[in-house]
Chains A and B, each alone.
Chain A
Amino acid sequence: MIVNINNSDVGINNLSTLIRKLSFIFNYEGKNVPNCEFKITATKLDAVSALVIFKAFDFASKYSCLESPKANLNNILKLFSIYGIENLMKKLVNQEEADGLYNNLKPSKTADFFIAPHPINRESFKNKQDLENKYTQFIADYYQNICPELVQYFKTCICEIASNFLYHALEDNNSILMAQGNKKKIEIVCVDNSKGILTTLNPDNKDHFQVMRSAFQRGVTSKKDEFHCGTGLWYIEKIAQQLNGTLRVYSEDMLYVFKDGKVFVKKSPYWKGSIFYLKLNILKNTKIDDFFAKFNNPNKLDLFNTQ
């Protein structure tokens, strides 16, 4: 079997195509299927496509799906070097142990943009502490002179996304959170192979449209007794709404899209786990603070805050 991935299979608008080409991996768990070859001939790779391909190889390696798969490693390493994960990718393609490399991920920036990968590892306290301090500070510093009023919202999105993946993705210790951006936008991506939203939220409900839609409603969580609030996805969507952003979440066989102020929930090719993509635009003179301040109900709680 040959899996061809070219320019028409990558990019945020082609993500369903890419998932369709890779989802066969999830049927091969433990089967060591021989004679599989990956020809990745795309000339450039966006962050979400990179992480989807990366996680497909991670799953194949971890669960012995393929026997000695072949791949055009030179082009693959070139494509993944942009994101600083080429050595990890090489290990996964060669089906070698890669866990030690996750701690070496580092953000980088040029004059025009930054790319910041970070491991999301539930077992590693160091990674969590780094996420809370170094990683988000790097992104905050980048935007401090560009849009200081929006930095708290970018940090909030990273905080909620990381929190979601840390505490819901219990079976996957090797996810990567990737943020990249420039003066016009920030994109935040995370992909995992854990239980998806549908299985986590309501495994018995066959109405996947309804379950997926409900995941983005305020106060809906599978873990209220573990101190979750069920606010994260709703909150991120509202931030996207205020910043003319885009949110795409693939989980199992469903896709949730918020774009141009509208929500679409559709069937999707199967992905084991979740794929999270958020784009926020850098806008001036937004009313985002006013929007969220109205949810802080001073009459009910009487909280006291001074500036």
Chain B
Amino acid sequence: MEINLSKYGKIISTDDTSNTILREIEASLKNNEPIDINALDVVISTKSARLIFGILYKKLSKINFNSKIHFKNASTTFMFAVNEGILTELSD
């Protein structure tokens, strides 16, 4: 299963978009299959990364997150934001 983030825009920065993406990922997780998050050409704000992946990481825990959520074509800045979002959420 693959979720192509670019359908939500090349920049993900608003709460509305972040919440929509989070809902789609959570719905897809119910199938119990790993999900590829295709982030080709997509930039994400650190806040949106926290709202989506920070919340998911905390909810799923490290082992489940990494077995079910695989990033694909993510740029350095995208992965930086995801790391920052998750680490901030975990520290909160």
Contact = CB atoms under 8 A, between A and B. Distances in A.
Interface of A: 125, 128-129, 131-133, 136-137, 140, 152-153, 155-156, 158-160, 162-163, 166-167, 219, 224-225, 227-232, 235, 289, 292-293, 295-297, 300-307
B4 interface: no
Contacts of B79: 293, 296, 303, 305
Nearest to A225: B92
A100 to B, nearest CB: 22
Contacts of A295: 80, 83-84
Question: Main SS of the interface on chain A?
Answer: helix
A225 B47 CA distance: 11
Question: Main SS of the interface on chain B?
Answer: helix
B29 interface: no
B44 interface: yes
B43 to A, nearest CB: 4
18 contacts: A129-B14, A132-B12, A132-B17, A152-B75, A156-B43, A166-B13, A166-B14, A229-B49, A229-B50, A235-B80, A289-B76, A297-B87, A301-B66, A303-B83, A304-B69, A304-B70, A306-B72, A307-B72
Interface residues of B, number: 46
Contacts of A305: 70-72, 74, 79
Given A228-B50, A300-B87, 7 more contacts: A128-B16, A133-B10, A159-B44, A162-B13, A229-B46, A235-B80, A306-B73
A235 B77 CA distance: 10
Pick the most buried of B47, B75, B79: most chain A CB atoms within 10 A of its CB.
Answer: B47
Contacts of A293: 76, 79-80
B25 interface: no
Nearest to A307: B73
A159 B45 contact: yes
A296 B87 CA distance: 10
Contacts of A227: 15, 47, 50-51, 54, 89
Contacts of A129: 9, 14
A231 B76 CA distance: 15
A302 B62 contact: yes
Contacts of B78: 152
A156 B49 CA distance: 12
Closest 3 CB pairs of A and B: A132-B9, A305-B71, A229-B46
